[in-house]
Amino acid sequence: MKQKTQTKFQPRGSVVAALDLGTHKIACFIAQVVDDEGGLEVVGVGYQAAQGIKNGVVVDIDVADKAIRNTVHTAENMAAEIMKGYPLRDVVINVPGLQAQSHNFSADIQISGQEITDLDIRRALARAQEQVLTNDRELIHTIPVSHSIDGNAGILDPRGMTGDKLEVNIHVVTGDLSSLQNMATCIERSHLDIVALASSPYAAGLASLVEDEMDLGCTVIDMGAGMTSFAVFQSGQMIYSDSVPVGGWHVTNDIACGLTCSYADAERIKTLYGSAIVSSSDDSELIDVPRLGENGSDGEHSVSRSLLIGIIQPRLEEIFELVKAKLDESGLGQNLGRRVVLTGGASQLPAMRDLAQQILDKQVRLGRPIRLNGLPDAVSGPAFSTTSGLLNYVATRSHEMPAEIMESADSGSFFEKFKRWWKENW
């Protein structure tokens, strides 16, 4: 069912910015809100190879800080006219799938015959947040998935109805607090403020799924460098997310080991000649592979394309089998829907759709960002779905932010305590 708690769109004319800290690349997009429903026009972009960050964890703060500043400056310069010379300050950042955890709860609120208001729904959401609050997890998303009144399920919008008990099924996503704090420290050094966090697969889905897919049930799989994360959408909402710690980096690494070449050569060979499935013609095609540590054509040897793809395919099969096992374990059953959308930089090998279809047994399509106007061609591919979706998230779904929910729920002693805790931690 569609979420009906009050949607808050960023006001027309406001500027929003996203910083996507990936394992392979760092990207910053700046956009302006151009209508009253969170529509966005991109006004600045910057991206470069990731440095100092691995799987969303800061491993070298000086190097990461420098890379973030460079990326942000490039986007700022492009957006200078819209920004009127002011530096970028507020950014939404991604929480990598590996650090996020998905929890489903049901929360009851006594209504006692009164009309149900938005505040009642927010109380239920706040109660779900209370259940997951621990010292080592940070709240990222709180999403109402379905409502029932006095046991009658399937209610689209309970506001304005009456009953004794409102039950809300809620999807909460939390992130690893210490990794997020390190990331926040690094970002603050770059003179930026984090105004929102969004989980990577959620952002990838918001960017690349069409509305019917989100409504009817669809899984988006974001194939990054260090991990493959995925989110299930149903009735317009994200109802589940998870990840596996294997991605395009592992494929490249397998090639470097298997063909005894450098990582850089393996990356180039993968992109130029790789495929997800071996075909009979691949036996006759030869590829020159530079030997490790040797220069010039003397240091090259030839291998068949089928040997290369024979290295790639098992790793990709492993990724889809791990994803399938997690989806099977999720207990979502029919709610998973029949469709899968593949996105992320590592989804770009030829025949990837066919391989995914064989293993996942779903209808599969390739996805890229579709909800931003003015996205330059260089950053309009699947590697930038998460970056794009961070902007869509902050422009249209800020009502799902845990702090926002706490602000608008009632102020029992727990909530006051939580708000203090939130402020002290951030």
Ligand X SMILES: Nc1ncnc2c1ncn2[C@@H]1O[C@H](COP(=O)(O)OP(=O)(O)OP(=O)(O)O)[C@@H](O)[C@H]1O
Interacting residue ranges for ligand X, rule: CB under 6 A? 22-25, 50, 96, 200, 224-227, 247-249, 252, 267, 270-271, 344-346, 348-349, 383
Strands 228-234 and 218-223: antiparallel
Instruction: Give the helix/strand (H/E) hosting 237.
Output: strand 237-244
- Contact between 56 and Mg ion per CB under 5 A: no
The least CB distance from residue 259 to ligand X, in Å, is 15
Shortest approach of ligand X to residue 143 CB, angstroms? Answer: 22
CB of 46 to Mg ion, least distance (A): 16
Give the nearest distance from C-beta 113 to ligand X in angstroms: 49
Cβ at position 93, least distance to ligand X in Å: 12
Position 65: which residue type? Answer: D
Show Cβ contacts of residue 301 under 8 Å, excluding neighbours closer than 6 positions: 288, 289, 291
Q: How far is the CB of 320 from Mg ion (least distance, A)?
A: 18
Give whole-number Cα distances, 196 to 73, 90, 114, 405, in Å: 20, 9, 34, 13
Angle between helices 263-273 and 248-258 (to 10 degrees): 110
Would you call 366 helix, strand, or coil by DSSP? strand
With contacts defined by CB under 5 A, name the span among 7-15, 131-139, 246-254, 383-391 that binds Mg ion.
Answer: 383-391
CA–CA separation, 252 and 274 (whole Å): 10
Cβ closer to ligand X: 299 or 350? 350
Sheet of 25-33, strand order: 40-49, 25-33, 15-21, 90-95, 193-199
Q: Which stretch binds Mg ion (CB under 5 A): 67-75, 283-291, 386-394, 403-411?
A: 386-394
Q: Compare residues 38 and 226 and give the one whose CB is closer to ligand X.
A: 226
Q: Minimum CB separation from Mg ion for residue 224, in Å?
A: 4
Q: Which is nearer to ligand X, 15 or 67 (CB)?
A: 67
In the three-class reduction of DSSP (H, G, I as helix; E, B as strand; rest coil), residue 371 is classed as coil
Can you say how many angstroms the Cα of residue 108 is from the centroid of all Cα atoms in its chain?
30
CB of 196 to Mg ion, least distance (A): 17
Q: How distant, in Å, are the alpha carbons of 27, 115, 154, 241, 405 from that of 3?
A: 30, 18, 12, 18, 15
Binding mask 12-31 for Mg ion (x = CB under 5 A): ----------x---------
Q: Which one, 50 or 111, has the nearer CB to ligand X?
A: 50
Give the nearer residue to Mg ion in terms of CB position, either 22 or 205.
22
Minimal distance in Å, beta carbon 273 to ligand X? Answer: 10
CA atoms within 13 A on the CB side of 140: 31
- Backbone φ and ψ of 70, nearest 5°: -60, -45
Helices (H), 84-145: 118-132
| Nearest CB to ligand X, comparing residues 345 and 369 | 345
367 touches, from Mg ion, ligand X, none (C-beta below 5 to 8 Å by class): none
User: What residue 213 binds from Mg ion, ligand X, none (CB within 5 to 8 A, per partner kind)?
Assistant: none
| Of 350 and 374, CB closest to ligand X | 350
| Residue 349 binds which of ligand X, Mg ion, none (CB < 5-8 A, kind-dependent) | ligand X
* Closer by beta carbon to Mg ion, 223 or else 259: 223
Which is nearer to ligand X, 251 or 409 (by Cβ)?
251
Q: Give which of Mg ion, ligand X, none residue 337 binds (C-beta under 5 to 8 Å, depending on kind).
A: none
Q: Which does 23 bind (CB under 5 to 8 A by kind): Mg ion, ligand X, none?
A: ligand X
Q: Which does 226 bind (CB under 5 to 8 A by kind): Mg ion, ligand X, none?
A: ligand X
What region, left, alpha or beta, does residue 85 occupy, with left being phi > 0 and alpha being psi -120 to 50 degrees? left
Q: Which does 3 bind (CB under 5 to 8 A by kind): Mg ion, ligand X, none?
A: none
Minimum Å distance from CB 36 to Mg ion?
A: 30
Could you tell me if residue 193 is left (phi over 0), alpha (psi between -120 and 50 degrees) or otherwise beta?
Answer: beta
Q: Which of 144, 163, 224, 367 binds Mg ion (CB under 5 A)?
A: 224
From the list 132, 21, 33, the residue with the least C-alpha distance to 72 is: 21
Could you say which of ligand X, Mg ion, none residue 249 binds, taking C-beta under 5 to 8 angstroms by partner kind? ligand X
Q: Which residue, 251 or 311, is less far from Mg ion as judged by CB? A: 251
DSSP conformation class of 344? S
Among Mg ion, ligand X, none, what does residue 24 contact (CB within 5–8 Å per kind)?
A: ligand X
CA gyration radius, the chain:
23
DSSP 94: E
Strand partners, 373: 41
Binding-site ranges for Mg ion (CB under 5 A): 22, 224, 386
